[in-house]
């Protein structure tokens, strides 16, 4: 018989899973979760894993990434065990376990350290960016105090170190997702199959394009969102943030490749950048409003790491618009230089901290979905 493991429970509680010990295993949460299925049975099963200390089953699971944090399960829990928040905590725990330097762990579990690390990286990035534009007013002022080479090499070191660590973390987590599920005895050893790969990729692409699974979260009769306008539903807010960011990333890459001066609105990259920028600002603004007004239990306890991620996205979108207007209007004053610096620092830090922050779910969720669908066709 399995034994309780209070030490493991204490460990995951640091990531935000503080009430799950109240669970008495009634199964309500799994019954109301529209995303839970026979081969993806959550959140109740994962609460058992947490109580019993089944670390490997949690770390190798695809299920924790299938949850969209809608909070329906938390609303229905008679014991206030907050299973939805528990699933989010397991995702943080898994990201931190894949990242071996301990940086992600610090960011997720220690707020003062998280603030310090975020500001320190922003500071170093800010200095490094100024070495790319040495003629700007702020850069000339800075180089009078710190030599150019020192800043340049420091920035390079931060990029290389975080890049290697992030790459190793992503590799570890992808290997975990590829493992055969211990919770699924029916699963056979996985051999590569081209047809299954295509089928799984097709399903993941449809999910990314439409967030079809996320939409099913609002279909319960007692769901707060069921009769709300689709424009304000959480799935659409989430969809806006995801596609807003992807669109802006593509527009930035196109600008860079084709050296578009960004002074003409009708260039394809500008049209894409403007539309997806609006989408990103809309999505992040709505997400901030929901976190402040807390319409459902899923917004009851928001962690600093979630706030940081969201605010970074919002600032990147807002400052991006400012810069677009500034370039078209020919402004090149000190304020525009500062906005450029903030925009670049925030955007680069988002990418640099990808594997150490909530942002990692943007990669791990599609991957987990891919392996989950692949397994379904076995």
Contacting residues toward ligand SF4, per CB under 6 A: 23-29, 33, 35, 42-44, 47, 67-73, 77-79, 81, 83-84, 87, 217
The distance of closest approach from Cβ of residue 69 to ligand SF4 in the complex, given in angstroms and rounded to an integer, is 5
SS3 sequence, 301-339? CCCHHHHHHHHHHHHHHHHHHHHHHHHHHCCCCHHHHHH
The distance of closest approach from Cβ of residue 76 to ligand SF4 in the complex, given in angstroms and rounded to an integer, is 6
Residue 291 burial class via C-beta count within 10 angstroms: exposed 0-12, middle 13-18, buried 19 and up? middle
3 state SS of 40: strand
3 state SS of 256: helix
Nearest by Cα to 371 from 192, 210, 242: 192
Judged by CB, which is closer to ligand SF4: 66, or 346? 66
Judged by CB, which is closer to ligand SF4: 29, or 139? 29
Judged by CB, which is closer to ligand SF4: 71, or 247? 71
Judged by CB, which is closer to ligand SF4: 84, or 320? 84
The C-alpha atoms of residue 208 and residue 203 are separated, in whole angstroms, by: 9
The distance of closest approach from Cβ of residue 70 to ligand SF4 in the complex, given in angstroms and rounded to an integer, is 4
Tokens representing 340 are 């450029």
3 state SS of 355: helix
The C-alpha atoms of residue 16 and residue 367 are separated, in whole angstroms, by: 24
Judged by CB, which is closer to ligand SF4: 28, or 101? 28
Judged by CB, which is closer to ligand SF4: 69, or 96? 69
Judged by CB, which is closer to ligand SF4: 103, or 241? 241
Nearest by Cα to 69 from 56, 49, 85: 85
Residue 23 has φ and ψ, to the nearest 5°, of -60, 135
Nearest by Cα to 94 from 33, 34, 174: 174
The distance of closest approach from Cβ of residue 46 to ligand SF4 in the complex, given in angstroms and rounded to an integer, is 9
Judged by CB, which is closer to ligand SF4: 9, or 278? 9
Nearest by Cα to 265 from 316, 304, 321, 211: 321
Judged by CB, which is closer to ligand SF4: 70, or 251? 70
The distance of closest approach from Cβ of residue 80 to ligand SF4 in the complex, given in angstroms and rounded to an integer, is 8
The distance of closest approach from Cβ of residue 68 to ligand SF4 in the complex, given in angstroms and rounded to an integer, is 5
Tokens representing 285 are 């603004």
The distance of closest approach from Cβ of residue 32 to ligand SF4 in the complex, given in angstroms and rounded to an integer, is 6
The distance of closest approach from Cβ of residue 362 to ligand SF4 in the complex, given in angstroms and rounded to an integer, is 17
The C-alpha atoms of residue 168 and residue 374 are separated, in whole angstroms, by: 24
Q: At what angle do helices 361-376 and 83-98 cross, to 10 degrees?
A: 100
Q: With contact defined as beta carbons under 8 Å apart, do 369 and 363 qualify? A: no
Provide the CB-side half-sphere exposure for 170 (13 A, CA).
19
The distance of closest approach from Cβ of residue 66 to ligand SF4 in the complex, given in angstroms and rounded to an integer, is 7
Q: Which residues, other chains included, contact 119 with Cβ-Cβ below 8 Å and sequence gap of 6+? A: none
Judged by CB, which is closer to ligand SF4: 6, or 78? 78
The distance of closest approach from Cβ of residue 81 to ligand SF4 in the complex, given in angstroms and rounded to an integer, is 4
């Amino acid at each position: 018989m399995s034994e309780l493991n209070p030490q493991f429970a204490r460990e995951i509680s640091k990531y935000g899973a503080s009430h799950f010990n109240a669970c008495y295993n009634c199964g309500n949460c799994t019954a109301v979760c529209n995303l839970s299925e026979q081969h993806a049975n959550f959140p109740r099963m994962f609460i058992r894993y947490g109580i019993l200390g089944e670390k490997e089953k949690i770390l190798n699971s695809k299920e924790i990434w299938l949850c969209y944090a809608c909070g329906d399960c938390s609303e229905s829990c008679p014991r206030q065990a907050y299973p939805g928040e528990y699933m989010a905590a397991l995702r943080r725990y898994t990201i931190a376990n894949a990242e071996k330097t301990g940086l992600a762990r610090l960011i997720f579990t220690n707020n003062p350290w998280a603030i310090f690390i975020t500001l320190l990286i922003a500071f170093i990035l800010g200095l490094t960016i100024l070495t790319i534009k040495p003629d700007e007013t702020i850069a000339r002022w800075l180089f009078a105090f710190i030599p150019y080479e020192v800043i340049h090499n420091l920035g390079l070191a931060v990029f290389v170190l975080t890049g290697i660590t992030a790459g190793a973390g992503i590799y570890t987590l992808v290997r975990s997702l590829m493992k055969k599920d211990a919770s699924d005895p029916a699963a056979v050893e996985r051999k590569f199959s081209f047809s299954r790969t295509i089928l799984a990729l097709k399903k993941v692409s449809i999910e990314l394009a439409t967030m079809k699974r996320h939409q099913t979260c609002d279909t319960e009769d007692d769901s707060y969102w069921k009769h709300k306008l689709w424009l304000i539903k959480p799935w659409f807010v989430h969809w806006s943030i995801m596609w807003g960011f992807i669109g802006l990333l593509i527009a930035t890459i196109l600008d860079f490749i084709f050296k578009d001066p960004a002074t003409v609105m009708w260039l394809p990259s500008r049209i894409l950048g403007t539309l997806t920028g609006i989408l990103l600002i809309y999505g992040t603004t709505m997400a901030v409003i929901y976190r402040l007004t807390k319409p459902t239990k899923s917004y009851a306890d928001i962690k600093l790491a979630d706030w940081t991620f969201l605010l970074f996205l919002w600032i990147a979108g807002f400052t991006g618009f400012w810069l677009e207007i500034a370039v078209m209007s020919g402004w090149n004053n000190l304020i525009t230089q500062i906005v450029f610096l903030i925009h670049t620092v925030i955007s680069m830090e988002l990418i640099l901290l990808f594997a150490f922050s909530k942002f990692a779910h943007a990669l791990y969720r599609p991957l987990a979905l891919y392996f989950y669908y692949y397994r379904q066709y076995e």
